[in-house]
Amino acid sequence: MRVAMFYHSLESDWNHGNAHFLRGVASELQARGHELTIFEPEESWSRENLLEEVGEDAIRAFRRAFPHLLSTRYREADLRSDGWLDDVDLVIVHEWNHPNLITAAGERRRRRPELRLLFHDTHHRALTAQHELARFDLRYYDGVLAYGESLKRTYERHGWGKQVFVWHEAADVRTFYPRDQRLGPERDVVWIGNWGDEERTQELREFFIHPISRLRLHAQVYGVRYPESALRELHDASIAYGGWLPNFEVPEVFAHFRATVHVPRRPYTQQLPGIPTIRPFEALACGIPLVSAPWQDTEGLFRAGQDFLMARDGSDMQRCLRDVLNDAALAESLSASGLETIRARHTCAHRVDELLAIYDAMKPASLDAQQPADAQQPADAQEAITVEVSG
């Protein structure tokens, strides 16, 4: 099968977790012999930030880690028809794309009834910024891939898309797997994630900084968007800051620590239950014991208390971390159970199986369907995208 995928960035995961899942799915599709083309905008903020903060060495490191993955970069300002989708069987367009591109893909689907076109949403904007999603013209899309049941219900409630399928993120087990324990562990706890706004600050204080400080643990964090005030707070708690970490280096970092934590953002705990984001999948795939701040596993993705520990509040997080670090049998059990669940249910191979099943069963969207009343159609949308290739 010939597949085209439009995403924000394949090369950069600077504050851009969608790249993790994309790389895993792309690798799996290629391993099965499918012909794949990935398109990303030439002026993506994630790639620009990566180059500004780290430089070209970061892109070269990505290419060494994923020599089989290449992207075609295009200019958003130069949308035009050139016929490159004529031989494609399936197109997936991620929600972090310009409305003009989203409409252009729909127009090509309208002109090619045999083409299958899916819209992929991996964010909370459908609830927290509905006006942005309402701009997208999904009339001619065959379906929507939503990364959780709660997001699926949101699309169905607003009438966005003719069919909505749940397609959770998962671990790329070609990259995320347990490393040789002779590398470590050397330190206690690591957290990998970005700082964010004031709400995020409060969550990190309760579920990471304060428990670590009270237990006097050797801990480290990696990520971006840490203001000076955050760095001072980490320093005062004797928590080391490692800066940005390429996602494909995370498994080696995990091998040096005895446990990790997950602190989901508030939209996923309150408005989109059942969506833990990709971090727990990746941590469990590496076999590191995980303690999570509370979230509602409404879809039964994991076995709380068996695959990982769920802390009710900051005091409970402190207790859970102490138990994991002082009870070798508990830590070993969590590691084995979490890894078992990932390998049985939550790898990118499982998600590709699901995607191909959706493709086989998908009913074409009605070409005379009407767009919902609350959606706006971009007036300057054009038929397709440029092939102004660079990089």
pLDDT-derived band of residue 380, with 50, 70 and 90 as boundaries? Answer: very low
Q: Domain coordinates of the chain in residue numbers? A: 2-170+349-361, 181-345
pLDDT at 387: 36
Rounded-to-integer distance, Cα 256 and Cα 238, Å = 18
User: Do 2-170+349-361 and 181-345 show the same overall fold?
Assistant: yes
Contact criterion met (CB below 8 Å) for 284 and 308: yes
pLDDT in tens, 41-91: 998 999 999 999 999 999 999 999 999 999 999 887 766 545 668 889 999
Q: Which amino acid is at 242?
A: G
Calculate the alpha carbon distances from 29 to 22, 66, 348 in Å.
Answer: 10, 14, 9
pLDDT at 272: 83
Report which of 1, 2, 64, 80 is spatially closest to residue 38, judged by C-alpha positions. 2
> Is domain 181-345 annotated with CATH 3.40.50.300?
no
Residue 270, pLDDT > 70, answer: yes
Residue 385, pLDDT > 80, answer: no
pLDDT-derived band of residue 133, with 50, 70 and 90 as boundaries? Answer: confident
pLDDT-derived band of residue 182, with 50, 70 and 90 as boundaries? Answer: low
pLDDT at 198: 74
CATH number of 2-170+349-361: 3.40.50.2000
Q: Where are the alpha helices (DSSP H) in the chain?
A: 18-31, 45-53, 56-65, 99-111, 125-128, 130-133, 149-158, 198-204, 210-215, 228-236, 250-254, 266, 279-285, 314-326, 328-345, 348-361
Query: If 0-12 CB within 10 Å is exposed, 13-18 middle and 19+ buried, where does residue 60 land?
Result: exposed
* Residue 270 DSSP one-character state: I
Give the residue-averaged pLDDT of 94-105.
Answer: 92
Rounded-to-integer distance, Cα 160 and Cα 173, Å = 33
Residue 367, pLDDT > 80, answer: no
Give the residue-averaged pLDDT of 178-198.
Answer: 83
**Phi, psi torsion values for 71, nearest 5 degrees:** -125, 150
pLDDT at 363: 65
Burial 240-260, CB ≥16 within 10 A → b, else e = eeeebbbbbebbebbbebbbb
Report which of 283, 327, 296, 291 is spatially closest to residue 311, judged by C-alpha positions. 291
pLDDT at 376: 41
Report which of 360, 352, 350, 222 is spatially closest to residue 279, judged by C-alpha positions. 222
**Virtual CA dihedral for 307, 150, 91, 63, nearest 10 degrees?**
-40
Residue 243, pLDDT > 60, answer: yes
Rounded-to-integer distance, Cα 49 and Cα 134, Å = 28
Query: If 0-12 CB within 10 Å is exposed, 13-18 middle and 19+ buried, where does residue 388 land?
Result: middle
Q: Which amino acid is at 216?
A: R
pLDDT at 377: 43
Give the residue-averaged pLDDT of 260-289.
Answer: 92
More confident residue, 77 or 298: 298
